Amino acid sequence: MKFCSECAAPLREMIPEGDNRPRYVCSACDTIHYQNPRVVTGCLVTAGRQVLLCRRAIEPRLGYWTIPAGFMENGETMREGALRETWEEAAAEVEDVALYRLFDIPHINQVYVFFRGELAGGYGIGPESLEVRLFDEQDIPWSELAFPIVTDVLTDYFSDRQGDEYPVRVSKPSPLWAKQTQHKRS
């Protein structure tokens, strides 16, 4: 961030009075431009014993498989965002929606929230997907998953499914995530 979105003057980085960390502050109008983590919301869609995955038609990780997810928009709830992303990527509606996973990813300033829900009706191929498919556990393309977080959510899900209990958990990124690409604004 270099220029003020209010008045277009240059910004400087400084700790405002009463604060304890550097912020971008406008040199002209004194507006403080706070930067805070962004929320990515998604939905693990199940259909009986199968899970729905989308093959990405966009970068990053074009051609790799993922769970419907994306940045939360202003004016919507996390749940609404997850269902919107599911509709946009897979033309799918879900029912019995429940909160499932929260991941803090402080090194990229993001929070991921995943719901899970059962497919209600059919599905299609949204504009951000090349292909949408239901997979049995043994057919999951583990080496072609788009993001480590997808691997984590699916691994947790198949593990939880053995006991038929799906507790909400807060997770941290595993070391495997290191420099792996996550969602970016396209």
Contacts with Zn ion, residue ranges (CB under 5 A): 4, 6-7, 9, 26, 28-29, 31
Complex with Zn ion: residue 3 or 135, whichever CB lies closer: 3
- Cβ at position 28, least distance to Zn ion in Å: 5
Complex with Zn ion: residue 27 or 181, whichever CB lies closer: 27
- Cβ at position 77, least distance to Zn ion in Å: 32
Complex with Zn ion: residue 28 or 98, whichever CB lies closer: 28
Complex with Zn ion: residue 31 or 50, whichever CB lies closer: 31
Complex with Zn ion: residue 17 or 164, whichever CB lies closer: 17
The contacts of residue 132 (CB under 8 Å, 6+ apart) are: 52, 53, 54, 55, 89, 90, 91, 92, 123, 124, 125, 126
Residues 186 and 175: their CA atoms lie apart, in Å, by 26
DSSP 47-83: ETTEEEEEEESSSSSTT-EE-SEEEPPTTS-HHHHHH
Q: Nearest-CA neighbor of 98 among 86, 85, 82?
A: 82
Rounded alpha-carbon distances, angstroms, from residue 159 to 103, 149, 156: 17, 15, 5
- Cβ at position 29, least distance to Zn ion in Å: 3
- Cβ at position 38, least distance to Zn ion in Å: 23
Residues 51 and 32: their CA atoms lie apart, in Å, by 44
Residues 60 and 186: their CA atoms lie apart, in Å, by 8
- Cβ at position 4, least distance to Zn ion in Å: 3
